């Protein structure tokens, strides 16, 4: 009887130990965008805009699409604030440039217009570090193509660090 109790206790400890290990294994290290990084990205985007004498709004969001930093160059129309944020959120939510949706719709995939969280205009780019999404940048204020150039300058600043 005593041996049975010892065996049962050992089995119970073994099972309890095996349950705890997978719970720990489910946690992952994750890079996140900081305010400092967001400002650095926005500064690089601003430099590109200023070089071309473009007035734009620059929005940087985290991987969940939450606004981390917003910058509106003097003279930029206020309507571009929401557009820049939505472009960034589109890129973060779908882990791809917002231009992908613009091109697909131009190619006839109008059903994509039914996706509530998508703004199908160029100017939103995901921010990726070591293959992991950390956020996105969205730019609005000039043409979509020009917005895309400014956003790329910002995104490139992150990848050059």
Of residues 33, 66, 64, the one with CA closest to residue 154: 33
- Give the total number of structural domains in the chain: 1
Of residues 94, 34, 118, 96, the one with CA closest to residue 69: 34
Q: Residue 35: how many CA atoms within 13 Å on its side-chain side?
A: 0
CA dihedral for 19, 23, 25, 26, sign (positive or negative): positive
pLDDT higher than threshold 80 for residue 1: no
Flag whether 2 is in a domain.
no
pLDDT higher than threshold 80 for residue 102: yes
Of residues 61, 72, 73, the one with CA closest to residue 98: 61
Flag whether 12 is in a domain.
no
Q: What is the CATH number of the domain that holds 67?
A: 3.30.450.150
Q: Once rounded to an integer, what is the mean pLDDT over residues 101-107?
A: 95
pLDDT higher than threshold 70 for residue 57: yes
Flag whether 151 is in a domain.
yes
Instruction: Please write the tens of the pLDDT for every residue from 150-160.
Output: 999 999 998 76
Flag whether 55 is in a domain.
yes
Flag whether 155 is in a domain.
yes
Flag whether 77 is in a domain.
yes
Total length of the chain: 161
Q: How confident is the model at residue 28 (pLDDT cuts 50, 70, 90)?
A: confident
- Helix (H) and strand (E) counts in the chain: 5, 4
- Domain of residue 149, residue span: 35-159
Flag whether 65 is in a domain.
yes
Instruction: Please write the tens of the pLDDT for every residue from 118-141.
Output: 999 999 999 999 999 999 999 999
Tokens standing for residue 126: 């995901």
The whole-angstrom separation of Cα 57 and Cα 26 is: 39
Percent of the chain with pLDDT over 90: 76
The whole-angstrom separation of Cα 6 and Cα 12 is: 10
Flag whether 43 is in a domain.
yes
């Amino acid at each position: 009887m005593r041996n049975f109790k010892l065996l049962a206790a050992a089995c119970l400890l073994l099972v309890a130990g095996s349950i705890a290990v997978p719970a720990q294994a489910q946690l992952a290290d994750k890079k996140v965008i900081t305010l400092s990084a967001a400002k650095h990205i926005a500064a690089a985007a601003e430099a590109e805009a200023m070089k071309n004498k473009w007035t734009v709004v620059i929005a940087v969001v985290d991987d969940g699409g939450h606004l981390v930093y917003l910058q509106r160059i003097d003279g930029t129309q206020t309507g571009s604030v929401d557009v820049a944020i939505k472009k960034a959120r589109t890129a973060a939510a779908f882990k791809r440039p917002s231009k992908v949706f613009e091109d697909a719709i131009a190619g006839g995939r109008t059903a994509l217009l039914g996706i509530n969280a998508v703004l199908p205009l160029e100017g939103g780019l995901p921010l990726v570090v070591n293959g992991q999404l950390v956020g996105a940048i969205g730019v609005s204020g000039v043409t979509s193509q020009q917005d895309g150039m400014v956003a790329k300058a910002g995104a490139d600043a992150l990848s050059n660090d």
